[in-house]
Amino acid sequence: MLLHIPNVLTPDEAAEFRRRLDGADWTDGRETVGAQGAKVKRNEQVPDNSPLKVELGAAVLAALKRCPLFFAAALPRKILPPRFNRYAGGGAYGFHVDGAVMKLATGEHLRSDLSCTLFLNDPGDYEGGRLIVSDTYGEHAIALPAGDAILYPSSSLHRVEPVTRGTRLASFFWIQSMVRDNDLRRMLFEMDTAIQKLTRDGADDNAVLQLTCVYHNLLRRWSET
């Protein structure tokens, strides 16, 4: 499931992120990938040990907490602290798949079920730089307004096109979901969305209650906590 999540950050918040990142201590993005990824990755990142990265990452997590669409779709159990990248001057990232297991600072491990890119500036600020996600339906090109995010399965092949003008800024992170299986997670999301619409439309209370019970019993059956 490929899902556009609008307005994770407000325009003012995105502008403040850009201002703070303008003075960041950027380093080679290949420092955080393995040998295969390093062959195709050409961008810059804020180092993991940077206080700015920690501060802005916490701000991203706080923004996600006020975003019910993200929670309904991802059903997050663990989130890798958000990172920040910059593409400019032809920077690109060729086709790759994200690592299946990642280590948290606590020593725990996170299984990457979902990947998320949070765009920090508008597509008009740069040329190229679209996120290309490949799945069984073909290739999907994504370039969203500042403050919007795209959520997609970490098992997907994906790449970032070369940025030939301007600079593309984004935050990115991975999620381990309470529901490992993408198809089961998608069905739960669709059921949750339908329940919310029925509630807004004034559907029969007993019918909505029955569907809500089914949703929670399926989540209870399929979740890993």
Q: Which CATH number fits domain 3-177: 2.30.30.90, 1.10.1660.10, 2.60.120.620, 3.50.50.60?
A: 2.60.120.620
- In 10 A of CB 19, how many CB atoms? 9
In which residue ranges of the chain is CATH 4.10.860.20 found? 182-222
Predicted structure pTM score: 0.95
pLDDT score recorded for residue 171:
98
Max CA pair span of the chain: 58
What is the pLDDT at residue 34? 76
Q: Which is it for the CA torsion 115, 118, 122, 127, positive or negative?
A: negative
Binding site annotation covers 140? Answer: no
CA distance 149 to 56: 16
Torsion angle (degrees, nearest 10) of CA 188, 192, 193, 198: 140
Asked whether residue 125 is marked as a ligand-binding residue, the answer is no
First CA to last CA distance, the chain:
22
Task: Quote the distance between the C-alpha of residue 134 and its chain's center.
Answer: 16
Domain 182-222 matching CATH 4.10.860.20: the answer reads: yes
Quote the pLDDT of residue 37: 79
68's CB contacts (< 8 A; 6+ apart) are none
- Residue 130, both tokens: 């679209």
* Domain span(s) for CATH 2.60.120.620 in the chain: 3-177
- Confirm whether residue 20 is marked as ligand binding: no
Residue 158 annotated in ligand binding: yes
Residue 132 near residue 98, CB atoms below 8 Å: no
Instruction: Per-residue pLDDT tens, the chain, 225 aa: give them.
Output: 999 999 999 999 999 999 999 999 999 999 887 777 789 999 999 999 999 999 999 999 999 999 999 999 999 999 999 999 999 999 999 999 999 999 998 999 999 999 999 999 999 999 999 999 999 889 999 999 999 999 999 999 999 999 999 999 999 999 999 999 999 999 999 999 999 999 999 999 999 999 999 999 999 999 998
Radius of gyration of the chain (CA): 18
Q: Is the dihedral of CA 173, 123, 64, 188 positive or negative?
A: negative
